[in-house]
Structure 1
Amino acid sequence: MIVALIVAAEIAFWVVLAAGLGARYLLRMPRLSTALLLGVPLIDVLLLTATVLDLRNGGEPSHAHGLAALYLGFTVAYGHTVIAWADGHAAHRLGRGPKPPKAPKGGWARARHEWRLWSLTLLAVAIGCAVLQGMIWGIGDADRTEPLVNWQLSALRVLGIHLIIALCYTIWRGEERPDAEQSTGEPARMAERSGQNY
């Protein structure tokens, strides 16, 4: 059941996001667009509520419950970035906005980009592990909560791997490329400003 809810939450995320951007760029209804996009976090709240209720009603802790907690952490940490990315592409395709900037390809600009992504992963893991720990304390049975502890360890491993990637881009960063410099210029600032609406 929880796995089905996670799939439904992921589908709902993209449907609501598409509806919000469609309202903005196709229907020219910015208020409706903002209302829809502000409703995206409610999907995570509903998923977390369903997960907690399932456990409180006697559901056996499983890997699905752990996945739901980490999904929540990911969407909270990366949600703004994903919405800003989608908004930039929608503005370019539907609203004749500037072409969204690409990630820098080398130099310190790429290193800074990777460290920014790692900081989002750190936030996602921190939120996910905190929610998992709350579930573990709430259940209070070490034998039953082993799947949740395993998800915490898996999340920490992912964070460590992402740290190694960021370090590699810092140590072996290569040369700064012109298109990397352009990607941090005016288009990037415009995409950032458009993302601040959410």
Structure 2
Amino acid sequence: MNVIAWMIVACEIGFWVVIGLGLFTRYMLKKDKLGLFLLALTPVIDLLLLLMTGFDLYRGATATTAHAVAAVYIGVSIGFGKSMIEWADKRFQYYITKEGSKPTKRTGYELSIHYLKGWGRHVFSYMIGAGLLLGMIFFIDDASRTEALGNVLRIWTVALGVDLLIAITYFIWPRKERDSQKGRAL
């Protein structure tokens, strides 16, 4: 595994460690400002990954799938970062501090709208990541060194389309709430 692949792994671990520390500091230590500061560090992790990837390519490395995944990771982290932090925040409050309401599973129209909003975040992530990929392709200006970037961009484009189809299916066949009494003998 190359250095960029290890950087992606380190950044993903760092992302969740910073979120965990931020939530722990915020709720367990009751230091809201420090907790928010730690949570705000998540984009710094993305910036480090971007700089490492750019530096590696600048030095003449041939772009690999890992370089492309770094761009995807950055796009997804920016597009979904806030919602991932909110998701973790709710669960931390309920399961760890025993405060707040229990997170519920969405069903029906509410789930359809939620998934469609998630697809909108996916589009935003795609715009950022695809912009980075296209920027790297343009910057390197050597098709033999950027083939992997273009391949990942094509795959991600297909995935974005499939995600839209899934979002549409939630409107056609909405997920129904499970009946907790189903299957119980009376």
Higher relative contact order (CA 8 A, sep 6+): 1
Deviation of 1:40 after TM superposition, in Å, equals 1.0
Segment drifting more, 138-147 vs 86-95: 86-95
Q: Which runs of 5+ in 2 are unaligned?
A: 180-186
Q: Determine the structure 2 residue equivalent to 1:146.
A: 147
| Structure 1: distance between partners of 2:140 and 2:102 | 46
Partner of 1:98: 100
Q: CA distance change for structure 1 residues 100 and 123 in 2, over 3 Å: closer, same or farther?
A: farther
Deviations 1:107-166 (A, max 9, x none): x22211110111111111111100000000000112221110011101111101101101
- Determine if contact 1:25/1:94 at 8 Å carries over to the other structure: no
Q: Deviations over 1:48-90 (max 9, x none)?
A: 0000000001111111100000000110011101100111111
CA gap 1:77/1:174 in 2 versus in 1, 3 angstroms: closer
**C-alpha displacement at 1:100, in angstroms?**
3.9
1:34 equivalenced with 2:36 (yes/no) = yes
Cα distance in 1 between the residues matched to 2:20 and 2:150: 35
Distance 1:26 1:87, change over 3 A: same
5 Å-filtered alignment, 1:36-185, equals: 36-106=38-108, 108-173=109-174, 177=177
Q: TM-score under structure 2 normalisation?
A: 0.90
CA distance, structure 1, for counterparts of residue 21 and residue 112 of structure 2: 34
Aligned partner of 1:15 among 17, 21, 32: 17
Query: Structure 1: 5+ residue runs without aligned partners?
Result: 180-198
**Aligned-residue offset at 1:97:** 2.1
RMSD: 1.6
Counterpart contact for 1:78–1:124, Cα < 8 Å: yes
Q: Please give the alpha-carbon distance, in whole angstroms, between the structure 2 residues aligned to 1:142 and 1:100.
A: 51
Aligned residues: 177
Q: Percent identity?
A: 37
The alpha-carbon distance between structure 1 residues 3 and 89, as it changes in their structure 2 partners (threshold 3 A), is same
